[in-house]
Amino acid sequence: MSRALVAGWIAFAWASIGASPAHAWLDSGELAAAGYELGVMHPPGMPGLAAVLRLATLLPLGTLGFRMALVSSAAVAVTVGFVVAILQRRQTPVLAIAGAVAWLLVGLTLVRHMRVVEIYAPAAAAFLFVLWAFDPAVPAEGATRLRLRLVGTFVATWAIWSFAELRILLPPVLLVAWIAALRRGRAFAAWAPLVVVAASVCVLALPLASARDPATDWGDPSTLGRLVDQLLARSIRTAYADDMLPASPGMWWIGLRGTFARLSEDLGPSGPVLVAIGLGWLWLRPQVEDRRVALALTWFVVGSIVYATGINPMGGVDRQTGLLLAPLAVLVVARLATRAMQPWPRLRLAVLPVLFTILVVPAALGSAGDLAVTRSWAPHAWSRAALGQLPPGALLLTQSDDLSAGVLAARVLEGARPDVITAPAQHLDRREIQRALRARAPALADAVAAAETETTRIDAAIASHREAVALEHPAVGVFTPVAFVPEAGRLPLAIAGPGARALAPSVPIRTEVDTWLPRLPTEEDRRRLAITLADWARGRVRTTGDLRRAIAVLQLSLEEVDPHHASAMVTLGSALDRMGATPEAIAWTRRALELEPDRHTALLNLALYLSRDPATSSEALALAEHAVALRPWKPDGWARLADLREAAGDVEGAAQARARAGAP
């Protein structure tokens, strides 16, 4: 256990070096800020984490954001400690343990989550604790095994309530362990159900207590249905229904490629291969314990890959998946290397350092640049700049996680702009949001509560607020159906109503870009500006039809801000095509598909552009067929395919496609 403690402290020191000092870093501020003001976490959320974050802010060390990020650093330290403890139980050599820890600590996904305020590092710590507690290497005799398994059952139950991935992976393991204990007459079979109930009561006490104290809220206890919706993340499943459990093999394959690409970044190109070899070797071992371990590890590895590929593919870009795979890979490869070198103890002294050097160096090179990302103050500056634009008493309706998290963290944790009312526009239906609004503006909250749809709630909020109103990207996203004519404002806001005329006029886009680029040191930071510019261009086309200015802004963004922004390329191609520059539109759309081969709009747009030339009409038809093969549930793909088939003279095929599109 002493080695586990040493490894944990090393991991904590390594993680804290890069811990984010800012309150708003991508989605991280959302959790921290929500835990302070609304008490509501991203569903399903982790009960108790907000309280731990509050305790962390009492440390007299650095900024509040840094103090809260240390919670993730500590969780990663716990994860590493349990990895070492599991390896020690199997008499793993010190060289192998040291190499395994080094390999684990340089993977990009782990590096990212050890430095920011998020729920994923605590999830990994809980998962490794459960593995350690249920390890078959624990002696069956005595009370130690029983105590470990009961505590592990408590932690597993808490994790199952809190994390969607662990909700899939852990229940079958607990059930198998309980059935095995029941058949053998072990005490665990009698105690485990009681522990599960006790842990569940502790978890559910939090949302029930929020009925009288909103500060402790977790979930929505107003009705049983709302509570279940929170725990099962219904809002997430609804918002990403097209991405989760895709209905086409093509989308599964694309998701699988993305999962393995990120896994190769975390483990290096040799890592996944060695993991597969290690699992196969364990399955071939004659010992019963090895086969049990192989079964459990295979279940967790395959389950995590399926979760990342088909259940949460939209979280891959933000490294929301893959965190559990890294410690599993380390355990498998360390076990394989130790057993393979067991007959040659002297040779082991030379081979193990070489092996882990081959594994560590590529992974470290892939994650080295992340230090600049997590230490960047650009998200904080972006949020502060948005708040600085608002006149007194303004209502700010946001729609991106970045700005929603940033302004909430700035207001609640730093006391910025107490006169401003903010709310995420797409979540105005949530009881917690309405409760927070009622404390500041009762009439506004009543108007929002009386509306029935997302659009009418936004309209009601704008109409009922007597001061200035600001929208983030007003003409796109959730604000597309909203009638809103901005009078003033700068990126990414538009402001109308009383006080708007007193603001300085909008700054030219060229000036905005020149002002922001020096403050955006990393690709992650510049992507935020690129998204804003693309949304501005789309809104400009939608509201004014000004294609020339939109094209100029998109070209500026792709040249100087983010040359790999596929969404901007697709929008630029569409604008160029409408201006008659079809060859340029085709070139930009092809480039977007090189970056994102499954982008639905790009496939359909390119099919349209190519269909106008008889020489490329067959390629156009193939692109439309590929689009509907990837997403057969989207009617616009079938409609485009119907048009192309009809143009090719395939009347029957066109009718079939039009029927799938639901068109008359």
Q: Please write the tens of the pLDDT for every residue from 171-211.
A: 999 999 999 999 988 889 999 999 999 999 887 776 666 55
Residues 401 and 362 in one domain: no
Look at residue 54 in the predicted model and tell me its pLDDT. 81
* Final residue of a structural domain among 485, 506, 527: 506
Same domain, 461 and 572: no
SS3 content of the chain, % helix, strand, coil (to 5): 70, 5, 25
In the listed set 484, 506, 528, which residue is the last one of a domain according to the structure? 506
The answer to whether residues 389 and 407 touch, using CB atoms and an 8 Å cutoff, is: no
Q: How far apart are the first and last CA of the chain?
A: 70
pLDDT reported for residue 596 = 92
Q: What is the pLDDT of residue 223?
A: 67
The pLDDT of residue 1 is 59
Closest CA relative to residue 106, chosen from 386, 349, 500, 370: 370
Instruction: Quote the pLDDT of residue 23.
Output: 60
Residue the block writes with tokens 């990403």: 240
111 pLDDT more than 50: yes
Asked if 485 and 547 sit in the same domain, the reply is: no
**Within this chain, do residues 449 and 560 fall inside the same structural domain, yes or no?**
no
pLDDT for the residue 486? 75
* Same domain membership, residue 221 and residue 141: yes
More confident: 99 or 505: 99
Report the SS3 class of residue 274: helix
The domain in which residue 457 lies consists of 378-506
Domain count, the chain: 3
Give 357-406 pLDDT, tens digit per residue. Answer: 999 999 999 999 888 888 889 988 999 999 998 999 999 999 988 888 88
Here the tokens at position 225 are 């249905």
Residues 269 and 410 in one domain: no
As a whole number of angstroms, the distance between CA 599 and CA 593 comes to 7
pLDDT-above-70 percentage for the chain:
92
Residue entry with tokens 């085709």: 586
Residues 367 and 382 in one domain: no
> Do residues 404 and 363 share a domain?
no
**Partner residues linked to 218 by β-bridges:** none
Cβ contact 453:506 at 8 Å: no
Candidate from 237-246, 277-286, 294-303, 534-543 with smallest mean pLDDT: 237-246
Instruction: Tell me how far the alpha carbon of residue 532 is from its chain's centroid.
Output: 19
- In one-letter notation, the amino acid at residue 517 is L
Confidence of residue 119 (pLDDT cuts 50, 70, 90): confident
Least Cα distance to 68 among 79, 55, 81, 82 occurs for: 55
Q: Are 125 and 152 in contact (CB under 8 A)?
A: no
- Cβ pair 498, 468 in contact under 8 A: yes
Q: Please write the tens of the pLDDT for every residue from 146-157.
A: 899 999 999 999
Q: Are residues 477 and 535 in the same domain?
A: no
**How does residue 221 score in pLDDT terms, banded at 50, 70 and 90?**
low
Domain stop point among 372, 403, 431: 372
Q: Are residues 437 and 573 in the same domain?
A: no
Pairing relationship of beta strands 493-496 and 469-472 according to DSSP bridges: antiparallel
User: Which domain CATH number covers 574?
Assistant: 1.25.40.10
Q: Are 588 and 497 in a shared domain?
A: no
Same domain? 6 vs 49: yes
The set of residues, in sequence order, having a beta carbon less than 8 Å from that of 225 and lying 6+ positions away, is none
Q: Which residues pair with 493 in a beta bridge?
A: 472
What average pLDDT score do residues 333-342 get? 85
- To which residue do tokens 């983030």 refer? 472
- The whole-chain average pLDDT of the chain stands at 86
